[in-house]
Amino acid sequence: MQAQLSYKKLAYTFFVFSLLIFLTAVVLYLLGRRWWCIDGQFFVWAGASTPHTSQHIFDPYSFSHVLHGFIFLWILRLFLKKRPIEIIFIVAIGIECLGEIAENSPLIIERYRTATVALNYFGDSIANSISDIICAAFGFLFAAAVPWKVSLATLIVIEISLLFFIGDNLTLNIIMLINPVSFIFDKK
C-alpha cells in the first residue's frame, strides 16, 4: 500500500468497513432477502448452476467479486489519486455494497434470470452478499499490495478459468446485463 496505516486509521477503516457491511445486511433484510439458503443446509462452497449458488458463503461468482476489488482500485485511483488508500478502500467497499443491494433488487434478479446463464437465480442470501463484499475487499487489498501487472494477469487468469469451468464470468455478466447477445447464452 502507499504508506503504512496507523493503528488509529486502520481501526477507523475497519469500523467503517464493518458498518457498511452491517447497513447492507439490514437493507437486504428489509428487501426480503433470506439470511441463508432456504433449505437450511450449510455449505462453505456451492458450485455454479445449482440451487445453492449465491446462497452459501462462497461460489464461483465469489471470484468475480474479487475482481470487482481490482477494478474499483484501478478506477478510483484515477479519480481519487490524492486521497489516502483507506479512503479509496472505503469508497470501493461502498460501491460494492450498493452493487449488492442493486444486484438483489427484483429488476436485476429478473434480468439475470432472462439474460444470463443464471436461469434459476433468485437472488443472493445475505450471508453470500456479505461474503461477496469481503471478497471485493480482499481483491482491493491484493491489487493494492502487488504491481498492477500482477493483478492484471490474475484478473485474466480468473476470467479465463471461470469461462472454462462454469461457462460464465464477470465480462459475460456485464455484457449480458447491459445488452444481451443471443449467441452467448442461447436459451432455446
Residue 188: pLDDT band with limits 50, 70, 90: very low
Residue 184 predicted with pLDDT over 60: no
pLDDT in tens, 55-81: 788 999 999 999 999 999 999 999 998
Q: What is the dihedral of CA 19, 90, 98, 29, to 10 degrees?
A: -10
Query: Average pLDDT in the 13-23 region?
Result: 97
Mean pLDDT of the chain: 88
Q: Nearest CA to 56 among 64, 47, 67, 68?
A: 47
Residue 186 predicted with pLDDT over 90: no
- Per the model's pLDDT, the better-predicted residue between 183 and 109 turns out to be 109
Joined together, the cell numbers standing for residue 128 give 453470500
For the chain, give every domain's residue range.
60-188
State the SS3 of the chain: CCCCCCHHHHHHHHHHHHHHHHHHHHHHHHCCCCCCCCCCCCCCECCCCCCCCCCCCECCCHHHHHHHHHHHHHHHHHHCCCCCHHHHHHHHHHHHHHHHHHHCCHHHHHHHHHHCCCCCCCCCCHHHHHHHHHHHHHHHHHHHHCCHHHHHHHHHHHHHHHHHHHCCCHHHHHHHHHCCCCCCCCCC
pLDDT in tens, 97-150: 999 999 999 888 887 777 665 556 778 889 999 999 999 999 999 999 999 999
Residue 1: pLDDT band with limits 50, 70, 90: very low
Residue 42 predicted with pLDDT over 70: yes
Query: What residues contact 29, with CB distance under 8 A and at least 6 apart?
Result: 35, 126
Note whether 112 and 121 are within 8 A (CB): yes
pLDDT at 117: 59
Query: Average pLDDT in the 170-182 region?
Result: 81
Residue 48 predicted with pLDDT over 80: no
pLDDT at 152: 98
- Per the model's pLDDT, the better-predicted residue between 86 and 53 turns out to be 86
Whole-angstrom distance, CA of residue 101 vs CA of residue 139: 19
**Model confidence, pTM:** 0.89
